[in-house]
A and B are shown apart, each in its own frame.
Chain A
Amino acid sequence: MPLESTPLTLCATSRLAQTLRRARPGEQAVWRTPQAMTPAQWLAALADDALLCGIDDLPQALDPVAERLLWEQVIAADLGDASPLFDLGGMAATAAEAHALCRVWGVLPTGEFLPDETRRFLAWQAAFLKRCAGHGWIDLAGLHQRLLGLIEAGQFALPASVHLAGFDRLTPFEERLCAALRARGVTVSGDEIGLSATVDRQAVQVFAGPDAEAECAAAVAWAEAALAANPAVRLGIVAPDLAGVRMALETRLDAAFHPDLLRPDAAEVPRCFNFSLGHPLADLPLVRTALDLLRLGGLRGKVEQARFSALLLAGGWSASVSEADGRARFDAAMRQGLHYFVSLQGVLRFAERLAAQDALACPQSMAALQAVAAVFAEAPRSARAGQWGALFRAALLAAAWPGERPLSSHDFQAHRAFGEVLDAFAGLDAVLGKLTLSEALRRFSALCRERVFQAETRGTPSIQVLGVLESAGLEFDALWVMGLNDDRWPPAPRPNPLLPAELQRQAGSAHASAAVELDFAHRVQARLLASAPAVTLSWSRADGNRLLRPSPLLSDQPPAVDLPGVAKTAEVPIDACEQLEDTQAPPVGDGEKVPGGSWILRAQAICPAWAFFQHRLGASALETPVEGLDAADRGTLVHAVLEHFWTRWQTQAAVQALAAPQLAAAIEGSVEAALAGFEANRRLPLPPRFRALEAARLQRLVERWLAVDLARSLPFEVVACEQRAELSIEGIRVRMTVDRIDRLEDGRRIIVDYKTGQRIDVANWAEDRITEPQLPIYAALVEAEIAGVVFAKVLLDKPAFSGVADAPELLPGVSGIGDHKQKIFDPARFPDWPSVLTHWRSALTAVAREIRAGEAGVRIADEAALAYCEVLPCLRLPEWRRWRAGAGDQG
């Protein structure tokens, strides 16, 4: 066939090819775009030609994804039951690499004494090839070999001349390709690759910095200076570990060159620098949302509630803007109302329930989610990738993905790329066969993770930040190569574990050995040194506490000097703050409702600001969903059981009269009633097994507690359970519930508060600020005739009473006022019971008066008392501590 006149440049990287295609020869306005592509791209075009013209019956090439999938299937089939133990994807990638090494470098393991790993691999390889043959497929490297054969056989219209650009070394395959081209009469140039000519050492500078951070800072400062001197300069920054320093470099470059573009609305404004690294498509918010919608919308089973939260809080679907607040509110409700693990149906039902109460803040979004669920509800158990792809499209449409916000330029590109991946997914029909939904989703997500997304840039930015490989063939006015430490440069060899290391070493295949890597690094470094008239090299002395050494490749470069210090460009902060006294909120107005029961008095006593933020402004922490019951629920249940029990049995004598089995049955009845009530209240039936466990716990705990109650020497009658009281203290309305009121035979009453946690503080009852005010309020302000105020510690370990009473021995373990055993109420200050009540009355009134007056400053006696404070972030504790330590307590 004739040769085509257009010359072809084969490039080492697609980046180089793109650069060459874009290069403008001189100042020409219009020119023929040069033909530049990587060998793989060119061979793919040839394969296409062959297919279209029917030259040879080429098998269909598996793209890398499809090839790996096939390897996975082969390996899984071999491992059988053991395969769940393996990371099959990783194993498949390793096997595919090994297979390519065999093809490209001619590494061919034979003989008897092969390592286990290699023997396994060979078996997989045989199976792989068999499957390929069965379906008319071939791996890429294999296809390339076939194409090479066709070229050698005189097929294809070839260009008259081929130039090789940017290659640091040629693989045996590439050498054979060059030879074949020459044999066909093609002029091949640029393949005599060796170490480049000597470089002017004058133009090379070597720096040693304390760490990578410092290297980045210096490189950015260097770029700043260079661009200031000549705005048209083309700079390169190359790092062997680009992914590792990317964040640091990007942040610094942005701060140096575009401090004004930190604004969120300037995120997509083109910068004067460009990174050769993209991001996985799946990491883009738009795509992440799409995948989450598919995963959760097609959910069968349960997942962590947090996954739904993330979806709700993310924009990008349904009423993403108009219901953003509503979605957040729904999430807050869900955290409170649903368990840690939730099902899709559970979430949807919860939304319906809220809607029924007219409390659903995001109806449109939930309808969309419902619609997605409906799409998947129709889905077959298993289907081909293409069918799933269609379903995914339908589901995303139902979800109104990508939401209400107009797409930005990057969003748009991401949307397009996502569509392409979805298209490509359908192309895997043949390899994947029939899939279940979760399989399909897993595969599809993996595709999105593998697809590298890089937003298009227009023109060529002044600063190119590149990895070592991507820099191939590029030229700069000045270049900085950083991170030249001996642990990365030369890179550590990583021979493929499935092939004998010895064979790979002999073949000199890529990454096979230290020698190969050193040779490679030598070539790259020589190429880099020649790619710009001025080159700076740098390395770090340490990485954290690891000591680093310079690369051995720096030994024939000028000796390293310390990095010039970079003046910290970041603005040194100027404190532009004022301080003013602001401890006074508006007094509680007549109409203002201050909810919170006795809790507000407690909060105010500990820290006035707590009471203000939590009770007057209604701040409460977002809940963290739990699986099963949280501590509060468990406490509520204990309360409920005891309430039910005593409401039924009333007196100690009545219970004492019960025989053991009767007592047990009585408790069982109360437990059942409590659980049923709880479930009705929450509209959330407890899972059966868990419910049984909880019943057993309650039974045991209550039995144990009743033993304490029944052992009391003074007979009693329970006259009230969960007694509500409402009163007004200094105009602050306090609503409260007293767990239980006992009446002794002489008519005196004891109020009892059940405690199911360990922490009990009675000592504060003698203080001026009462931090456990519930019982004192009741005793001092609600009912007369109270002779004792106690906590009942309903615990498996050491259940007991704790509190104070008018006289000793009213209750076991509770000391009386004025008693010599009394440790909390100093007999000197509190000679008798009325003195205690008087104290409580005045202390509580004082705190209530504070609330009413609007006192809301941060002042704290004991930080430990804030342990359960929900509004800590509003109290600014660190500032308080520092202020206290510095200014001292002016009070």
Chain B
Amino acid sequence: MTEKDLVGGVDRLTADARARERALAPASFIVEAPAGAGKTELLTQRTLSLLAQVRHPEEVLALTFTNKAATEMRDRILGSLERAGRGIVPPEPHKRLTFELARAVLARDAECGWQLLEHPGRLRITTLDALCANLARQLPFLSRFGGQPAVTDQADVHYAAAARQTLDMVEQDDADGAVVADALAFMANDAGRLERLILAMLEKRDQWLAYVAQIEDGSMREAVSAGFAALVERDLAAVAARLDGRLQYALMPLARFAAANAPEALGALADWEMTLQPTRDDLPRWQALAQLLIAPSSGTFRKSLTKNVGFPAGKPFAEQKAAMIALLDELATVSGLEALLAAVPGLPEPDLSDAEWSTVATFARLLRLAAGQLWLIFQTAGEVDFIEIAARASLALGEDEAPTDLAQALDYRIQHLLVDEFQDTSPNQVRLLEKLMRGWQPDDGRTVFVVGDPMQSIYRFRKAEVGQFLTIRQRGLGGLVLEHLRLYRNNRSFPAIVDWVNAAFPGIFPAQDAPATGAVSYAESAATRPAHAESRVQVHPVIAADADTGAQAEAARVLDLIRAARAAAPNERIAVLVRARSHLEALVAALRQAAGEIRFQAVEIEALGGRQHVEDLLSLYRALSHRADRVHWLAILRAPWCGLTLADLHALAADDRQATLWSLINDAARCAHLSPDGQVRLSHVRSVLGLAFAEQGRVPPRRWLEAAWRMLGGLETLSGPADLADIDAFFALMDRLTVGGELAADRLAERLGELYAPPDPQGEAVQLMTIHKSKGLEFETVILPGLHRETGGNESSLLLWDEFAGEDGHEHLLVAPMRAKGEAGGATAYDYLRRIEGERAAHETERLLYVAATRAIRCLHLVGIVAPDDKKENGLRLPASDTFLRLLWPGVAEPVFAAALAAGETLAAAAASSAPPRAALPLRRLRQPAIPAVLATPPGDRRPLGNPLAPDAPIGTLNLEASVGTLVHRCLELIVSQGLAAWPLAGLAAREAGWQRWLQAKGHDAEASAHGAREVLLALQATLASETGLWLLSAPAGGAEEAWSSVDAEGATVNHVIDRIFVADGVRWIIDYKTVRVPVDELPARAEGFRPQLARYARLFAGDPLPLKVAIFFPLQAQLIELNGSVY
């Protein structure tokens, strides 16, 4: 055992065991757990041990990074409780600990009556996003939310809408309009570009919205200057530390000499006599000095001196020149100085210029306007994004001065907080955690426990800030100091892998942690598995001059590796991991060529939209959605289900460019000019699409399209089950996107671009994915191709923001605007911030490589391409910066490539050809297009009949006459059930007001209601004053309004409501009330009109022995008109 293997005097495994034991203590910790350390088990144990101590299970809150992780952890905990409940003691020691802890929880559960297993929902294991959503919803008032909006992770449409609305404000004649105009002017009136930039800023508004007010009123300007000054001075201090007094004094005379000769460039050094201080005041001199010493093109010390830098040619100056060259040689030996000096010209003047600041202010205002528009759009859409939710949650928790009573709000007190994947939290999330921990004191029994691995922080694009982990490790969280624990064990990989990682990564990662630039130093692991003979790490060099040849060779190499691994261990899993999806294109094509031999899953790699059958389907939807979309109409006529020849297309469409193709297709005379085959094909399309158009809007979009596609013969154009799976995925997407019965074709196309082909379910053994997707997974064999590849940059932001913790622990906010198009100038604050961003990105690349390498259990294969280069000493071109290969180059990759070059493994370049191929794509189409048999029969009379509507048919049924009729009915019914005594004639008028309200509630206005109520009064008065009325209403043995049912010819139930039915004098009376205002002499004719209705009632009693009489009673006229003759 070497000394390196010892940590604090004990070996790594012992240190690891101690840390794990300590981690269960009731104190606060920050735990570093490298890849494969089994941190989930530790989290589970910690959670269990806390649960055994609390009063309510809700007091333990565990936060994970993803939903998936939350469900897994919940499953683990509940699973361990179940196992403990069954009482089977596991044999493995670490599982035994979990078992014991779970038993203690069950005991506590029994003691307190939690019934955790019955109420698994009481376990608070969730993501931060979900927690925020919960808080915002539980505090609708404090969160300023009000409702319970849905949360969407696809808010980009809303951002785009907000950006457009903001731009549209430009014509407003107010201050807001002026802001937009200023911003547009700054962007050279390029509205499209400004729109994209606003959209991008809205996506990360959580980072800047809080500062906008301070920027607008200018109060932040000084703070920003101070921030830049601190940064600049920090960088200068680093230079000064290497360029000590002695060197500076040696430089002074030469610099003054040069300055005299080149006053324009180096004037700042003309009177240089004192050592330069690392302060902003000396910045101009530092920059002049750097200019003197460093060649700007290469960023290295000057090799030659010219008159431009104050050393003219010629004898008289030879001495100074020689001295300078000698001094430059000496400086070159000072480690790190060159790079630091090279960065000095890029240091910005700490004070933003007035112009810069006014740009910042303009954009800040613009963004506030955009955020306002976004909120309006969210409100209309009834959904918000995660940023909004988090912001509202934070609002609901209150300010530090006026905190919300959390215990009351949440209905429980958080006693213990656990956070997983802590390296991936963003600054805002940490702020939220601090709010949750407000008022916590050390040793008050409350604890926080965060776990993570700064070496695996790879979510910068999701605003993860690894520097935070380092800072919190040092300074604590929310006022609590966290005890730092480090795990060492790697349970995953065999020693060959672990040792290789331990050997390679200290050289890849920076030597020192640096929170500000996201630099993380390497921490070692110790393998717990025994050595394995077949375990290894191997670099596979491909040396090729041109990219295509190289890519093919690389793909072939990877294919060989997969084959070999499959052959050696058919049951093991292989992963091919890449930095970006596009890096897999050549390989996926190669795998497909080897069709069938190797089944594989390309996890979210292949775009679904790139499949012809899917594209055809989309074209069909576009064509159906827009008849004037000529491109897609031509496309669907060329698609396999139709397959018109070029000649037929020409005959159909060439001479009429105005009409829609659909109208051309329906032009019989025109179609007669097509070939006979073409006519058959066109009539197939005509009949199917004609049917689709006839029913447009009556079926949901997905079914509409599916029907058209199937009837066209779409299914018959597919070439296998995999194609069908793509189609299913497409339709599933349509289902998801259809909102309110609508789906715009553009939106479908847009989302389709983000959808990936479903993976082959039988291809689990070989998985192709991005490294980000592989996080948390493990594979026996990992192949890492494309080591030489870079990833694309991203569009620049309007403003760059940064928060930087100075040496004093003070947070500084930095902000800088982008440079306007066409403006020249020197170093800007914006460029400087970009450089810092670049450094952070570079450090993340290191970590990404670490994550990829540590996925391997047994074998790790590294594959990359290097071009030969005669001009280089080793004959190889240096891999581009920002590539894995560059990181691995010194010591790991270079020797292997050099050996391969020596062995003559260079691939010759293939002859380039830019000429198009001579053969053209053949036409693929159905042999005989026809509607599939199953869909060929029209539904005929199974279809409910259409309902012709008179062109002036009223909308709605509100009708005073009808309402009055109903009201009279109801009253007559009440009179029957309550008895005449309850309805004295004299008391009727008093009830008129109630009737009027009744009518108003039906939607009649006050005037109509009054009129109606009067009508009712008249009707009832007439009825109750008449003998017929009294007889009718008081007759015995009957019911008011009786409902009867019968069955119709098809066996369905039919309802009949009979107004009045009773038996009097051995006769059954069936009476219907009709409140109509017509002269008495017209009543018999009216009554006749109701015969069919009464006949229907009468038929219900067809088998009844009693004689039957049917009649209509007209209350207004108090007339009972009997319908004579046969009523059946």
Contact = CB atoms under 8 A, between A and B. Distances in A.
Interface stretch (B10-18, B143-151, B553-561, B845-853): B143-151
Given A263-B935, A573-B724, A873-B615, A880 B918 contact: no
A660 interface: no
A746 interface: no
Contacts of B316: none
Contacts of A546: 67-68, 71
Contacts of A797: 821-822
A310 B625 CA distance: 10
Contact of B945 (A331, A409, A886): A409
A411 to B, nearest CB: 7
A870 B630 CA distance: 11
Contacts of A796: 188, 821-822
A268 interface: yes
6 contacts: A288-B740, A310-B744, A412-B949, A549-B120, A690-B184, A859-B918
A575 B718 contact: yes
Interface stretch (B212-220, B455-463, B522-530, B650-658): B650-658
Which of the listed residues A82, A263, A692 has the most CB atoms from chain B within 10 Å of its own CB? A263
B629 interface: yes
Which of the listed residues A52, A415, A613 has the most CB atoms from chain B within 10 Å of its own CB? A52
Contact of B625 (A48, A313, A325): A313
B559 to A, nearest CB: 15
B149 A87 contact: yes
A855 B948 CA distance: 52
A52 B710 contact: no
B144 A82 contact: yes
Nearest to B408: A115
Given A412-B949, A689-B181, A86 B628 contact: no
B953 to A, nearest CB: 8
A818 interface: no
A618 B649 CA distance: 11
A315 B634 contact: no
Given A269-B939, A412-B949, A555-B117, 19 more contacts: A31-B1044, A48-B970, A87-B145, A87-B149, A89-B146, A117-B140, A262-B703, A263-B711, A265-B691, A397-B955, A406-B947, A423-B956, A429-B1005, A458-B1052, A514-B121, A546-B71, A579-B924, A871-B631, A890-B919
A864 to B, nearest CB: 11
B697 interface: yes
B26 interface: no
A515 interface: yes
A93 interface: yes
A49 B974 contact: yes
Interface residues of B, number: 190
A666 interface: no
A876 B629 contact: no
Given A573-B716, A628-B167, A32 B631 contact: no
Given A267-B703, A427-B1002, A88 B146 contact: yes
B713 A617 contact: no
A576 B946 contact: no
Contacts of B1002: 423, 427
B922 interface: yes
A86 B917 contact: no
Contacts of A501: 411
Interface in B681-719: 691-699, 703-704, 706-708, 710-711, 713, 715-719
A51 B971 CA distance: 10
Contact of A52 (B118, B944, B995): B995
A247 interface: yes
B71 A547 contact: yes
Interface in A10-60: 21-22, 24, 29-33, 35, 48-49, 51-54, 60
A294 B698 CA distance: 21
B204 interface: no
B940 to A, nearest CB: 9
Interface in B1011-1043: 1039, 1042-1043
Interface string B976-995: 01110011000100110011
Contact of A613 (B72, B634, B645, B1003): B634
A621 B923 contact: no
B822 A90 contact: no
A410 B192 contact: no
A324 interface: yes
A744 B851 CA distance: 64
A613 B278 CA distance: 67
Given A52-B971, A268-B943, A459-B1052, A419 B121 contact: no
Contact of B650 (A91, A585, A693, A883): A585
B177 interface: yes
Contacts of B619: 873
Interface stretch (B94-102, B338-346, B659-667): B659-667
Contact of B939 (A263, A302, A891): A263
Contacts of A621: 631
Interface in A363-411: 386, 393, 396-397, 400, 402, 405-411
A506 to B, nearest CB: 12
A692 B939 CA distance: 63
Given A87-B149, A261-B939, A573-B718, A423 B379 contact: no
Given A60-B1001, A265-B943, A704 B822 contact: yes
Interface in A261-305: 261-270, 279-280, 282-286, 288, 302, 304
B142 interface: yes
B140 A498 contact: yes
B416 interface: no
A149 interface: no
B438 interface: no
A547 B68 contact: yes
B647 interface: yes
Contacts of A331: 626, 628
Contacts of B1001: 60, 427
B1105 to A, nearest CB: 15
B935 A883 contact: no
Which of the listed residues B78, B146, B971, B1101 has the most CB atoms from chain A within 10 Å of its own CB? B146
Interface string B1039-1063: 1001111110011110100000000
Contact of B922 (A304, A612, A883): A883
B544 to A, nearest CB: 20
Contacts of B653: 617-618
A426 interface: yes
Contacts of A583: 646, 920-921
A680 interface: no
8 smallest beta-carbon distances between A and B, as pairs: A90-B147, A857-B920, A796-B822, A891-B918, A419-B956, A87-B147, A91-B146, A618-B657
A258 B720 CA distance: 24
Contact of A878 (B610, B695, B945): B610
Contacts of A386: 1003, 1005
Contacts of B655: 592
A157 B935 contact: no
Interface in B87-126: 117-122
Interface in B903-957: 914-928, 934-935, 937-939, 942-949, 951-952, 954-957
A882 interface: yes
Interface string B271-305: 00000000000000000000000000000000000
B611 interface: yes
A218 to B, nearest CB: 17
B486 interface: no
B75 interface: yes
Contact of B185 (A340, A497, A688, A693): A693
B404 interface: yes
A71 B886 CA distance: 65
Given A30-B1100, A31-B1044, A689 B170 contact: yes
Given A268-B943, A412-B947, A52 B631 contact: no
